Amino acid sequence: MSGFGDATAVERTGEGRYKVELDGDYAFAGAVNGGYLMAVLDRAAVDLSPHEHPVSTAATFLRVATAGPAEVIVEPRKTGRTTATSLVTLVQDGRRAVDALVTTGTLDTGTEASWTGPRPVPSLPPLEECADFAATTGEQGFAAQVDMRFDRSTMGWLEGRPSGSAELRAWFRLRDPHEPDAFALALAVDALPPVALNLGAKGWAPTVELTWHMRAVPAPGWLTLHGGGRLLSGGWFDEEVEVWDSAGRLVAQSRQIAREGR
C-alpha cells in the first residue's frame, strides 16, 4: 500500500507538463477512481499556480483511465492576484481521458464563516454504529486506501432493498497518516457509491461531469460525506456531496452528472 501523497505525486517534465503513475489501488474494475484523478489534476494545477488551493475544479470525464503511466498538461488561462485558472488535461496512451478547468486561490486556515446554512439532516450515526464493509470483505483496492463507515439506513441497496431515496452517508478518512487536505477532498467528493443505487439502478455509473468547490481547509480527523440527488431521468442522474470536517465545518461541495448503470 502506497501513501496517498505518493500515489498522487506529479513529476514536472517541462513547462506545464507532468508525468504521473496512476495507482491501480484506486481503481475499480479496471477504471481508476474519478476523485483520485481529480486529486492528481489539482496537484498539477496548484504546482503551476501562485495560489495554494483548488477552489474550483470542473472536470469532464472523457474516457476511462487505467493504472499505469499518464501525463498531465496544465495550460494557464488567466493568472490573477486573487485567483488563477488553468485547463488541466489527463492524457493516457495519446488520448485525453479527463479535461478540467481548475481555479486556484488561497483559503485562510483561520477564516471564520460569515454565514453557514444548516448542517445536513439527518446527521451521521456515531462511527461505531456504522457499517465497516472492509472489516468483513477485506481491505482490497480502494477499500485498502480509504476507511469508510456507512450509515446503514442508506445502504439497503447492497441487500437488494434500495431505500428509494437518493441518499448516502458515510464517515471517510485515508488509511495512511495523510490528514485531510485539498487533494483528499478531491477524493472524498467522488468516494461514495452512486446514489442512484438507492433508486434501483445497478452497477457502475460513469460520471460525465463533476464540479467541486473547496470551501475551507479541513481540520485533522474524520470527514463526513452527505450524498444526495434530485433527479434520475432518461438515464441521467445528478449526485451532490457535501463534505464536513471534524470541526463541524463545510469544507467541500460537489455535484456530478452521471449515466445510470445497467
- Whether the link from the prior residue into 122 is cis, omega within 30° of 0, is yes
Minimum gap (Å) between residue 63 Cβ and its own copies:
7
Taken in order 62, 174, 44, 216, the sign of the CA dihedral is positive
Q: Which stretch binds its own copies (CB under 8 A): 27-35, 95-103, 137-145, 186-194?
A: 95-103
Residue 136 lies near its own copies (rule: CB under 8 A): no
Reading across the β-sheet that carries 236-244, which strands appear in turn?
11-14, 17-22, 68-79, 84-92, 95-105, 53-61, 207-214, 250-259, 236-244, 223-228, 167-174, 146-150
19, 65, 93, 248 from 44: Cα distances, Å: 10, 17, 19, 29
Residue 257 lies near its own copies (rule: CB under 8 A): yes
Distance of CA 76 to the CA centre of its chain: 23
Minimum gap (Å) between residue 215 Cβ and its own copies:
5
Residue 96 lies near its own copies (rule: CB under 8 A): yes
Choosing from 34, 35, 218, 229, the residue that interacts with its own copies (CB under 8 A) is: 229
How far apart (Å, rounded) are the C-alpha atoms in residues 131 and 165?
A: 19
CB atoms within 10 A of CB 3: 14
Instruction: Report 69-88 residues binding its own copies (CB under 8 A).
Output: 77-78, 82-83, 85, 87
Choosing from 31, 101, 131, 158, the residue that interacts with its own copies (CB under 8 A) is: 101
Q: Which stretch binds its own copies (CB under 8 A): 6-14, 20-28, 144-152, 226-234?
A: 226-234
Choosing from 13, 111, 140, 153, the residue that interacts with its own copies (CB under 8 A) is: 111
Q: Which three cell numbers stand for residue 149?
A: 463507515
Residues in the site for its own copies, rule: CB under 8 A?
A: 55-56, 58, 60, 62-63, 77-78, 82-83, 85, 87, 96, 99-101, 103, 105, 107-108, 111-117, 164, 166, 199-200, 208-209, 211, 213, 215-216, 228-234, 236, 238, 242, 250, 253, 255, 257, 259-260
